[in-house]
Amino acid sequence: MRKLFVNAKDFTSKDEMHAAMRAVLGEENYFGSNLDALHDCLSSISEPTELRIVNWSFAARHLGEYADRLWRVLSDSTDEDPNLNITIE
């Protein structure tokens, strides 16, 4: 199983959040700096993958409503891709 880790303290802005996610997912798997592109990437993972995101409360404070939309994208992606498990702390 592929295990990925991201610290939401890196989510100081939308651009920084996308950069952090791109870094953990790999440039070749994630194009575009928007939630649709992130969803496409996450919902098409082809190997068992665990993504752990820590310090979510930091992201919620800095991203506001965008953090809510991100949460929904993460949830929808796990619903669509049986290879993906996301833990948010």
- pLDDT tens track for 32-75: 889 999 999 999 999 999 999 999 999 999 999 999 999 999 99
Per-residue pLDDT band at 26 (split at 50, 70, 90): confident
Of 40, 17, 14, the residue nearest 29 (C-alpha)? 40
Average pLDDT over the chain, rounded to an integer: 93
Could you list the beta-strand ranges (E) of the chain. 2-7, 49-54, 84-88
Q: List phi, psi (to 5°) of 49.
A: -140, 135
Token pair 């969803």 in the structure block, residue: 39
Range of the domain at 26: 2-88
Q: What pLDDT, on a 0 to 100 scale, did the predictor assign at position 32? A: 81
- pTM, two decimals, is 0.91
* CATH assignment of the domain containing 83: 3.30.370.10
The pairing of beta strand 2-7 with beta strand 49-54: parallel
